[in-house]
Amino acid sequence: MEKLFLFLAVFCTTNLFAQSGWQQISTPTNTSYTFNTIFFVSKDLGFLYYKQNYAPYFRDGRIYMTTDGGNTFALTSTNVILQYAYFKNANTGWILGDRINYEVPGHYYFTYQTTNGGASWTETEYVTNSNYTNCIKFSNDNTGWKTKNGGNGLFKTTNGGATWDSVAGNLGNTFVDYFTVNTIDSANSIYRLTTFYKGPGAIVKYSTNSGINWVQTGSPGSQIRNKNHFEFLNATCIVTYATGLPTKTTNYGVNWNSTLSIHAFMDISTLNNKYVWGLNTEGKIKFSTDGGSAFADQLNVGFTYDSSSHCFMFPADTVIHVTGFLNTGGRLYKTTTGGQVVTSVSNNESVVNNFNLSVYPNPFNPSTKLKVDTRSAINFLTINLYDLSGKLMKSTDYHDIHIGTTELNIDLNNLPTGSYLLKATGENFSETKKLVLLK
């Protein structure tokens, strides 16, 4: 079914030259609650948090869940504050937050777990002090880590979360703000656990032996206490701030660079070590194809931003098939094209913005040429070839295509006679052409 959808999507897409690759989608309405933030854990499963418009003694909220990519939403929890959501696979996940007690106003922290994709939830933790879980991440179905707030350390599980053991090692009691898990050598089960700490002169430590020992590395600066998000792309990490420029490291935090000439990011999402989407304080969505060294506008409509804004992107066969969600200013946006404008299928030569694409000869046997005429350099170009059932037959990536005319050889020598769809995808465009192979 998924393959069929890919094929149909090619023919149902219309020209979107004047539009964005992001579209606003409808969310539930409630006069007493306001849409505040999102946590999406897959392209289908996500959670919306609504905060109470007026709560004099305590905060209040509601959680809505979608299992169909935002087409429908169902109310799942009331009188709660959603802080974090994480799924280790399609079935098992956790949501963390505050539960409201109306008799004794205050914060009562909970952890809910589901093992059936969110159909039902079980409370696994309920505390009335600051010793609550604030982050959970897994490197595989069995091995995972979680942190406790207020300097209560790092915990590890090797049985899928059934039990947790302290692995703080020489970490100490410094306040654990956030952490990430990166697989460095999966064959030897070595993981880099990078933990950020808030406060003036923020501390960054990492472990390469699953948390037994910790090494302090360089500091991204005191602004880390206001940070919104950080994410490692192998050795590269970008930290976003509520104020000031983003900070970047390319050597696991030994050195930090604040020279990115872009406005502050409220949130970022990364894929495949090179694609970065950023939601910034100018009200723009920024997009990078080189791991965050340079950014271009992907959506520039000047929307309202706030501190609860989030951005989530989910991988696909190519960047043009990436599904993503973001919220800002009480609105929910979605893309199914990586945020890029997608054009319609054409059998003839056509122009996509500054790109002129043509195939000759067509029909052909056994190879043909794709001619790319461009008035601006193309950092990357992906050529995917599908049969008419939507099955991907061949994929090739090209890099650094210069201004002018470039001819790319398309060889179908190993494929049978028939019709095929060739899809050329660049940073800001996608064009599909029909090919006929005659043998």
Dump pLDDT digits (tens) for 322-375. 888 988 878 898 988 888 765 444 444 333 445 678 888 988 889 999 888 887
Instruction: Extract the runs of DSSP E, i.e. beta strands, from 253-294.
Output: 265-271, 275-280, 284-288
Architecture, CATH, for domain 345-437: Sandwich (2.60)
105-124 residue pLDDT tens = 666 788 888 888 777 888 88
Looking up tokens 């499963």 gives: 45
Sign of CA dihedral 158, 162, 167, 172: positive
* Confidence band for 101, pLDDT divided at 50, 70 and 90: low
With 0-12 / 13-18 / 19 or more C-beta atoms within 10 angstroms meaning exposed / middle / buried, residue 106 is exposed
Distance (Å) of CA 388 to CA 144, 256, 306, 436:
42, 49, 45, 11
- Does the pTM surpass 0.75? The reply is no
Query: What are the domain boundaries of the chain?
Result: 22-335, 345-437
Which CATH architecture does the domain made up of 22-335 adopt? 7 Propeller (2.130)
Rounded to the nearest 5 degrees, what angle is found at the Cα of 130, between the Cα atoms of 124 and 134? 55
User: How far, in Å, are 100, 122, 184 from residue 65 at the CA level?
Assistant: 19, 16, 34
Nearest to 237 by CA among 262, 263, 206, 215: 206
Three-state secondary-structure class, residue 4: helix
3-class SS of residue 340: coil
Name the burial class of residue 400, with classes exposed (0-12), middle (13-18) and buried (19+) by CB atoms within 10 angstroms of its CB: exposed
In percent, the amount of the chain with pLDDT more than 70 equals 61
- pLDDT of 15 over the 50 cut: no
